[in-house]
Amino acid sequence: MLKVGYIGLGLMGKPMARNILKAGFPLVVHNRSRAAVDELVAEGATAASSPADVAAQVDVVFTNLPDSPDVALVALGEDGIIAGAHEGLIFVDNSTIKPATARHIAAQLAGKGVPSLDAPVSGGDVGAQQGTLTIMVGGPAEALETVMPVFRAMGKSITRVGDAGAGQIAKVCNQIMVAAQMVATGELLILAQKAGADPQKVVQAIKGGAAQCWTLDVKPPRLFAGERGPGFKAYMQAKDLNIVLDTAREYGVPLPATSGNAQLFSAMLQMGMGDLDNSAVIGVIEALANEKLNIP
């Protein structure tokens, strides 16, 4: 059985690592803050002192970190994964980072004989906890075949999109749609209410037709219950949209709707709502419309 390492035990990383452990894989963990490490060690994992220490002990090492510079540092920096590289090691990144960064890391690690998979995920904290994530993969098919049993402990849909960076390109596209759905949900709820209709009944009416989507199924009940905590934090959605727009500029693709949505998420951060769920972008719509969503 593969021995697995996991670095980055945040809102998503910790439950994903826990599912790997529950599936029976020996697990070595490392995190900047110690509490999450201690929690998983109490459940049977082993702690490591650094990314290099993790890599040296395992067959597959995962990262799940906030942004491109964090992954580059952990993978390629002093005492990073590259310092613990050995024959047979595979690197997998579950973070959402720039496709160009994923390709750079893959090239550097390939020079040490370590294949890389960029494998960002979608499905939020609920998907991470339940092991039902969607995993988008870029990198060698042979490495994916080796790692597939671990992926199956984390997700229900695993798709190899292409070579290095292709998983991150898929995540860029995913985040275009996610942001659009979050903004559209906020807009329709506030418009319905201010125009005199019951927004709960409106959601019930429209989600059986062409408007049906995961966001409309999952987010309105939480918003009606007054729950705006993550989920998926708004500041991470804003970060991802910056990656989307940077990638679009790199390839000369205009994204007018996404540019507008990025401004709304940026406004969330300026309004002190960065740690709320990405569906809490409704708060920006509320402020613009001078209309608060009623809690039934």
Q: Which residues are catalytic?
A: 171
How many whole angstroms separate alpha carbon 92 and alpha carbon 151?
10
Beta-carbon count within 10 A of 44 CB: 12
C-alpha distances out from residue 69 to 41, 197, 231, 258, 295, Å: 27, 47, 23, 23, 40
Cβ within 8 Å of residue 197, ≥6 positions away: none
Whose tokens are 């998420």? That residue is 265
Classify residue 235 as left (phi > 0), alpha (psi -120 to 50) or beta. alpha
Beta strands 90-93 and 116-118: pairing type? parallel
